[in-house]
Amino acid sequence: MYYVYLLRSISDPTETYTGFTHDLRHRVNQHNCGHSVHTRKFRAWELVFYAAFQNEMATRNFESYLKSGSGRMHSSSWD
């Protein structure tokens, strides 16, 4: 399975991060351990949303949508 996920910073809830992975638990742990340059500054992170896909291309397309203007607008209200 492939996953698109949305994280929210616990220390600064206005900060979010959208990503793609094939191992969701491991990837969230990496973000919280500071292994990602993009998310290190706003640790710790909580998982707000994820979607599972069988197809990698569909997963990447959905990630791209969430990172687009329309996707950011819709995902900002997810709790």
pLDDT in tens, 49-78: 999 999 999 999 999 999 987 666 556 665
CATH number at residue 69: 3.40.1440.10
Give the type of residue at 32. Answer: N
> Domain range spanning residue 63?
2-75
pLDDT band at 17 (very low <50, low <70, confident <90, very high): very high
Number of domains in the chain: 1
Displacement of CA 47 from its chain's centroid (Å): 7
Question: In angstroms, rounded to a whole number, what is the distance separating the alpha carbons of residues 18 and 67?
Answer: 7
60 contacts: CB under 8 Å, gap ≥ 6: 20
Rounded to an integer, the average pLDDT of 27-46 is 96
Specify the pTM.
0.86
E strands along 1-79, which residues? 2-9, 16-21, 45-53
